[in-house]
Amino acid sequence: MDIEELWTFVEVADAGGVSPAALRLGVSKSIVSRRLFRLEAELGVQLLARTTRGAALTEAGSIFRDYAARVCAEIDVAKETILPAGELRGRLRVALPLSFGPTHFAPILAEMARRHPKLQIQTCYSDRFVDLITEGYDCAIRVGYLQDSNLIARRVGPIHGKFVASPDYIKAHGSPETPEELVAHEALMQGTEAWQLMDGDKIITVRPQGRFKADNGTALVAAAIAGLGIAYLPDGLTDEHIASGALVPVMTRYPPPPAGAYVIRPPGQHPARKIRVLTELLIEYCEPAPHLPGADR
């Protein structure tokens, strides 16, 4: 049984179709279809039911998928174990935030590719919440405050941010001085998230309201500069605008607690060495930088 056929089947099962699996694997759809045909012929069972919308697992395919994924993972670990120290092979798929990933994390991933010329790195930049398991990513880099999940997180650096507004907004609506006053103001947010503030050593949680929402930090910066409300944003997105006077800090007596940058991976006993190497490289670059650019995502 060919390992590439197993990998291909797992990718098609997770992606829900031949086309997205081919994109993940970096091969043509015809190659994916041939591998699936050979695997099903060898097993003597149908693993996938092809439809106009993609491919759905049959009962046999659903059972076989978990076994195939474990076999592929074990072979990956075995390959890493016998490779020369420091050498990485295979593919690393990473999901990163769009707000600052291309400007901050992309150079770090490029350095990893330079150090490991036999490693294929595929990155996806998006501010949406990527499902690592369903979409077939090895890991993600996320910043801000992590939501509860069964994913495993490793902190790689600090994130500092502040509440900001434009001078025009403050002139029209005033500057809030307390958490209670902050809730009464127009908030610029990604969705319905809560904001946290520090009152000495105590953390206060408030739930602001606002009519302007965006899933991208850069878009929230633009809204704040336009005078639409108060935003909580990372320093990396606001420093230059504060320096120019386009934005000013507010609620300085109640700053938000420091957030973090994290490498997130699906649950498993041991992370793949390529993820460990990426994590160590991120720590090397990010830990000394107290104002890592980012977005609360």
**Rounded distance, CA 270 to CA 272, Å?**
6
pLDDT of residue 214: 92
Half-sphere exposure (CA, 13 Å, Cβ side) for 48? 29
pLDDT of residue 255 exceeding 50, the answer is yes
pLDDT of residue 84: 63
**Rounded distance, CA 11 to CA 24, Å?**
8
| pLDDT tens digits along 197-222 | 999 889 999 999 999 999 888 999 99
Please enumerate in sequence order all residues whose Cβ is within 8 A of that of 294, keeping only pairs 6 or more positions apart, or say none.
Answer: 97, 99, 100, 104, 143, 144, 159, 161, 217, 234, 236, 237, 259, 261
pLDDT of residue 83: 66
Mean pLDDT, rounded, of the chain: 86
Q: Which of 92, 142, 123 minimizes the C-alpha distance to 271?
A: 92
pLDDT of residue 267: 78
Percentage of the residues of the chain whose pLDDT score is greater than 90: 47
pLDDT of residue 288: 55
Section 37-62 average pLDDT:
89
pLDDT of residue 91 exceeding 70, the answer is yes
Percentage of the residues of the chain whose pLDDT score is greater than 70: 92
Model confidence at 149, pLDDT cuts 50, 70, 90, reads low
Q: How far lies 6's CA from each of 71, 130, 253, in Å?
A: 8, 24, 57
CA geometry: angle 96, 15, 31, nearest 5 deg: 110
Q: Which of 258, 261, 297 minimizes the C-alpha distance to 279?
A: 261
Model confidence at 289, pLDDT cuts 50, 70, 90, reads very low
pLDDT of residue 78: 76
- Tally Cβ neighbours within 10 Å of residue 67: 11
Q: Find the distance separating the first CA and the last CA of the chain, reported in whole Å.
A: 42
| pLDDT tens digits along 172-203 | 999 999 999 999 999 999 887 889 999 988 99
**Rounded distance, CA 150 to CA 172, Å?**
45
pLDDT of residue 290: 39
**Rounded distance, CA 12 to CA 36, Å?**
9
* Residue 38 CB burial class (10 angstroms; 0-12, 13-18, ≥19): middle
pLDDT of residue 297: 36
Section 238-265 average pLDDT:
93
Q: Which residue has the higher pLDDT, 266 or 230?
A: 230
Section 121-142 average pLDDT:
85
Lowest mean pLDDT among 3-17, 30-44, 80-94, 154-168: 80-94
Section 233-241 average pLDDT:
91
Model confidence at 273, pLDDT cuts 50, 70, 90, reads confident
- Does this model's pTM top 0.85? My answer is no
pLDDT of residue 295: 37
| pLDDT tens digits along 66-76 | 889 888 877 87
Section 95-113 average pLDDT:
89
Q: Which of 117, 160, 137 minimizes the C-alpha distance to 292?
A: 160
pLDDT of residue 50: 80
